[in-house]
Structure 1
């Protein structure tokens, strides 16, 4: 199979000859030139995107299933085999206060997934207690989180993953599209606070992992988990510990004393490990 064949299969024929070896995203906006994102910058391509092409791509991605299409649009994206994701934008239709679909599509953001591997021998000595992963947007927090989950699982530890938005596992038809290790249990579709507590009750984990802690109810769930002797892996939006402490929610998180260690991502996607200084 060609690289990124899962994406090429849903694209119109005129896009299938693109060199996508270094592409991070393909951006398709109705009436505008298509563009690829490489190294964080957009590069325009020739031609114009037709609105009907957007609908055709989404239909192929959901395998012509109206139900699958509706369910996907409610969360704003479609996950393809291989973990690739198609983000959707357009004229929203709201029913009973919830997104029910789109009257018309205006843009698609096709994100190319790469399962980046990291050296477990470097990670494991630092994964002896609950760990928080810090990084700026796009720094690779979720990639490092996957690597930590896989390293723990492959070392014989039970890890439960609360993947509320499907970012960590890219679950498709009950199967994770990213390898998270042989002793990993994955829950999708529930909010982080509900999901983490369900995993605590149901799966007897040694670790619970979640992406992007953003709400106080997440903190309450993690505090409960920490009292039960289960360790935590999570990510937070902050480039370093100083920026983390400037944000009220994260200051509160640190005062709870649950996390003893942090992985801080660097611009070259390497990381440094620091001990948490609880106030």
Structure 2
């Protein structure tokens, strides 16, 4: 039996299920993505390598079978998700889509003739925020901005921070959390139910624009803390200000390589000038000993450096990606 997550294994085309059964569990440990491209070999993506399944070609029939499985044979039922370019599976896994896009009045209407699928394997790392929480807590979680480049673990850290605050873990008092999950990456809501554990006192607004979702959450659910992923638009900044004026704490993430880089962005600069955030956490990924989390105060002074070793994760590496073919004993 394959060591793939059962929610993923059961929606794969039958022939691909058979192909996966040939591989040992150690060959699939730490799998992050399965990329399926029409008339090509599937690609298995890990944190620092890529494996090609040379003994299998993903055909048009396989594509139709897979599409039927992930949509439960009703593409129209998932029309909105298709328009957004992904489908959420049970267990919080996501399938990204690529193909021909049809538009209407300048907006994406649908993705047709799908040529590529990207299955992103969801893994919740409980405890990711354990060492960070005490440094952010002052009669409640301080207004915090998590900064990091892609794949630095921002969303993973935010999810566990939400869970910790919502459940009152790591020596802090529990709070009501309003989570705005615009792309359904944090809670991975499926049919109204979060597939990831985001805590007992967390209310989720899924598949909703961040700026609107924050205002809706404040009006309807009276959260003590708002959590938002990937701010970056003028409307997001305006809503963050409204939340703070309403007495609601905020924790959000933003893409960035360095604190100064983010400070100098025109759309975000006012938030820094007004000292909206009490804490800044800079994530530096792919260190051999683990991920580095540098904590700055509201005056941009470094107050703490944490190293999060990946005890429960696939080992990370700072080497460039390499490509490995199944069945070979060396990199090629």
Shorter-chain TM range is: over 0.9
1:20 maps onto 2:21 in alignment: no
1:207-247 Cα shifts (integer Å, max 9, x gaps): 00100001011000100111111110100101221222232
Q: Per-residue CA shift, 1:141-171, capped at 9, x if unaligned?
A: 0000001101110112000001111111100
Verify the 8 A CA contact 1:73 1:100 in the aligned structure 2: no
Q: Which residue is 2:261 aligned to?
A: 243
**Aligned twin of 1:154:** 167
Aligned CA RMSD, in angstroms, stands at 2.0
Q: What's the CA shift for 1:276?
A: 2.8
Is the contact made by 1:55 and 1:105 (CA closer than 8 Å) also made in structure 2?
Answer: no
- Once residues 46 and 194 of structure 2 are traced to their aligned partners in structure 1, the CA distance between those partners, rounded to angstroms, is 26
* Count, aligned residues: 279
2:284 matches 1:271: no
CA distance in 1, matches of 2:120, 2:218: 32
* Residue 145 (structure 1) aligned with residue 158 (structure 2): yes
Greater CA drift, 149-158 or 118-127: 118-127
Q: Distance in 1 between matches of 2:34 and 2:130?
A: 35
Q: Secondary structure at the match of 2:196?
A: coil
Note if 1:116 corresponds to 2:125: yes
Relative to structure 1, is the Cα distance of residues 35 and 119 closer, same or farther in structure 2, using a 3 angstrom cutoff? closer
- Distance in 1 of aligned mates of 2:129 and 2:229: 20
Could you say which residue in structure 2 is the equivalent of 1:99?
Answer: 108
Moved more, 234-243 or 94-103: 94-103
1:29-80 C-alpha deviation (Å, 9 max, x unpaired): 1122211111244332213221232232121012112322323211100000
CA distance in 1, matches of 2:214, 2:283: 25
- Listed one character per residue, the Cα deviations across residues 116-145 of structure 1 (whole Å, up to 9, x for unaligned) are 112665233223310111111010000000
Distance across 1 between alignment mates of 2:207 and 2:149: 25
Normalising by structure 1, we get a TM-score of 0.93
Which stretch of the first structure deviates more once superposed, 254-263 or 136-145? 254-263
CA distance in 2, matches of 1:218, 1:109: 28
Give runs of ≥4 in structure 1 deviating > 3 Å.
95-98
TM-score, normalised on structure 2? Answer: 0.79
Q: Which residue of 2 aligns with 1:57?
A: 66
Equivalent residue runs for 1:217-256 within 5 Å: 217-256=235-274
Q: Following superposition of structure 1 onto structure 2, how do residues 77-96 of structure 1 map, counting pairs within 5 Å?
A: 77-96=86-105
- Secondary structure of 2:28's match? coil
Structure 2: distance between partners of 1:36 and 1:89? 17
Structure having the higher Rg: 2
Aligned to 1:225, the other structure's residue is in SS state: helix
For the 8 Å contact 2:237–2:268, the answer to whether it is kept is no
Structure 1 229/54 Cα, relative in aligned 2: closer, same or farther at 3 Å? same
2:53 aligned residue (31, 45, 53): 45
Q: SS state of the match for residue 213, structure 1?
A: coil
Is the aligned partner of 1:71 residue 2:71?
Answer: no
C-alpha displacement at 1:96, in angstroms?
4.4
Q: Please report how far the alpha carbon of residue 190 of structure 1 lies from its aligned counterpart in structure 2 after TM superposition.
A: 1.9
Equivalent position to 2:209, from 183, 191, 194 = 191
Distance 1:4 1:119 in 2: 21
Question: Which residue is 2:321 aligned to?
Answer: none
Residue 145 of structure 2: which of 132, 141, 152 is its match? 132
Paired with 2:109 and 2:62, the residues of 1 have a C-alpha distance of 21
